Structure formats: structure tokens, C-alpha cells
Amino acid sequence: MSTTYSCILFDLDGTIVDSAPGITATLAYTFERMGLPIPSPSELLQYVGPPLLDSFRDLAGFTVEQSAEALVIYREKYLDVGAYDATQYPGVGLVLKAISESALPMSLATSKPELPATLILEHFNLATYFDIITGASEDEVRSAKKDVVAEALLRLAAMGADVSRPVLVGDREHDVLGAAANDVPTIFVEWGYGSVAEQAGSIATVSTPAELQALLLG
């Protein structure tokens, strides 16, 4: 067992699964339903990872009312179809299994709401590896990464886990910044959606799940 970390937090999109196809297709459907031009594939990819309401505001320039409308349209379609249009990154499941078999407590920490996050993990038979599944709240009040990380730590502590030396595994800048806001270091995975510039502030970068497992478990 690792003596470096006392508990592990995992991002989902871009870290455990390549969920971009389902997310971008659902976003395209959302824009079409709202009678708006559909952004390019590269523009839609920028939505993958950060809280969706933030992306509607920052990337699409939506008002609060437009964002709320878009979220309703998006969620209905995503829960029905889009959530399952994803691929598990090869080897990551083995890392989660190894952590589960060790004595290290582990929580998901995703800006995706907990229902679709749980459905995705169950779809790939990964949910049982996690002690806690933490995500955005249904009303999106808790969706910023720093708030999700804080909630994950609270839930782990409530189950008696040692949260004195946590680490987050993620693939985007908002993972690094959200973890840092809670004094949690981040291991950055290079197989996700983040650019090289987004790795700034992480304590390590890994290019394969085997490297990740070695860092986490020794």
C-alpha cells in the first residue's frame, strides 16, 4: 500500500472514460433544439470536463435563463442516450481494481451530476471499486471542482477514512485548480482532454495507467 497518500480522488471524464462522443453529440442536439448554430467539433470538445452551466455561460455566452433551458434539454437526452456513448480508457479499470484491493479509500470527484456518473461507472462495472461516488448536485449548486473535491473529502472523512494526505487524479486545468483550492495535489493524466498548458500546478504527469498505478501504490 502507498504510504504517500491516505486517500485518492478520481475525475471521470477524460480520466476514467472517454465520454466526449456522448457529450458532444448531446450538446449538438441541445443547440439544434434551441434553434442555434451548432459549434464546431473542436469547440464542443471544450465543454468536456468543466461544469456544464459554466461552459454554457463562458463558451456559448448564454444568459442564466438560456443556460437553464439548455441544461434541461441536455440532461434528458444525455441520460437517455449520451451517457452510454463512452469508452473506458484501457488499463484504467485495472488501476481502480488495484486501489480497491489495497487499503486506500477512494472517491469519485466529478463535475458531472452523480446520477449519470453512477450510471457510467455501473455500465463499465467500475462502481464497486469506489467507496464514495461524489459529483455535482442535481441542482448544479455544487458543480465547481473545488466544491466537489471538498464534498468528496467530507464524505470520506465521515466514513472514517484518513483524509490527511489526499491526491486527485484528473486531466484538465479545473481539476488542478479545484484540488489546489482544497490543498490537494493533482496527478495529471495525459490521455485525457487537457492541453500541456493545463498541466501547470500538478505534482506529476503520467502517460499510461501503469505509471499512474506505480505513483499511487508504489
HSE, side-chain direction, 13 A CA sphere, residue 162: 9
Closest CA to 15 of 168, 135, 165: 168
- For residues 13 and 148, the answer to whether their CB atoms sit within 8 Å is no
What is the distance between the alpha carbons of residues 26 and 184, in angstroms, rounded to a whole number? 32
- Judge whether 110 and 23 are in contact, CB under 8 Å: no
3-state secondary structure of 190: coil
CA distance 202 to 36: 37
Catalytically annotated residue among 11, 13, 147, 175: 11
Residue 54 a catalytic site member: no
Active site residues: 11
